[in-house]
């Protein structure tokens, strides 16, 4: 999927497919250990778990960086191969890696994981999480959130091959940027949409500040400029 592609469901082998995060214990938010599952649908409305008992990724047999919890997937298809980018935890630290598959059922972790790593003293020194990967011209871009320097910030990493990633040390958007205080603590967990009619990217994000939790919006063009066009 490119940055500016319509956000539409895509069939593969006559079905729609989704990867999802799952947690076997109840009683709180994302209680460890997490895992990932696979589901399919004929019509996009009624969904069926591919397996009720066997996750596609779990902490069983996991490497050190992901031994405590597997979190959210992001699915990319490129040249006949599926990529599952996911963040995972070792204690209080989260980083991002990926696994590959040719059938969506059997997955192989990349031996060089994690591919987006914590940087000591950086804006992502504790978390590199929840990556969303898009094609942008001749390269790939990953939007993720980093935790460090007193907050959670929207970060970007870049790749030519989906395997080797270089993160910008400066946030794409730093927590506290909204003058209302909406995101004074956290700016994270993004969702990106493109509007072709005004050629504008809309980046929605989870904002946390003194008034609680809400949804913030960043645009690639000023709203006032769009109103004039």
Architecture of the structural domain at 11-172: 5 Propeller (2.115)
pLDDT of residue 28: 83
- Averaged over successive runs of 10 residues, the pLDDT of the chain (229 residues) comes to 90 96 86 94 96 91 96 96 98 98 98 98 98 97 97 98 98 95 96 95 96 95 72
Dihedral sign for Cα atoms in the order 155, 39, 106, 21: positive
pLDDT of residue 228: 57
CA separation, residue 194 to residues 11, 85, 165 (Å): 21, 22, 24
CB 190 within 8 A of CB 204: yes
pLDDT of residue 58: 96
Nearest by Cα to 51 from 20, 7, 95, 89:
20
pTM of the model: 0.94
pLDDT of residue 77: 97
d(CA 47, CA 52): 12
Domain spans of the chain, in order of start:
11-172, 176-229
Residues with Cβ < 8 Å from 149, sequence gap 6 or more? Answer: 121, 122, 123, 125
């Amino acid at each position: 999927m490119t940055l500016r592609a319509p956000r539409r469901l895509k069939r593969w082998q006559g079905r729609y497919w989704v990867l999802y995060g799952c947690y076997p214990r109840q009683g709180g938010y994302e209680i460890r250990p997490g895992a990932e599952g696979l589901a399919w649908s004929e019509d996009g409305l009624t969904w069926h778990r591919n397996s009720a008992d066997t996750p596609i990724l779990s902490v069983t047999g996991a490497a050190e960086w992901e031994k405590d919890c597997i979190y959210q997937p992001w699915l990319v298809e490129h040249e006949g191969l599926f990529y599952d980018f996911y963040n995972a935890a070792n204690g209080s630290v989260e980083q991002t890696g990926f696994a590959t598959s040719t059938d969506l059922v059997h997955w192989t972790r990349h031996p060089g994981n994690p591919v987006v790593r914590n940087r000591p003293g950086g804006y992502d020194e504790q978390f590199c999480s929840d990556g969303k990967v898009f094609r942008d011209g001749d390269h790939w871009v990953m939007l993720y959130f980093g935790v460090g320097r007193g907050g959670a910030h929207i970060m970007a990493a870049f790749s030519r091959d989906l395997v080797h990633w270089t993160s910008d040390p400066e946030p794409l958007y730093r927590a506290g940027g909204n003058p209302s205080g909406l995101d004074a603590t956290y700016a994270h967990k993004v969702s990106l949409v493109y509007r072709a009619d005004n050629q504008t990217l809309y980046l929605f994000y989870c904002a946390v500040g003194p008034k609680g939790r809400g949804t913030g919006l960043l645009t690639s063009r000023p709203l006032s400029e769009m109103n004039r066009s």
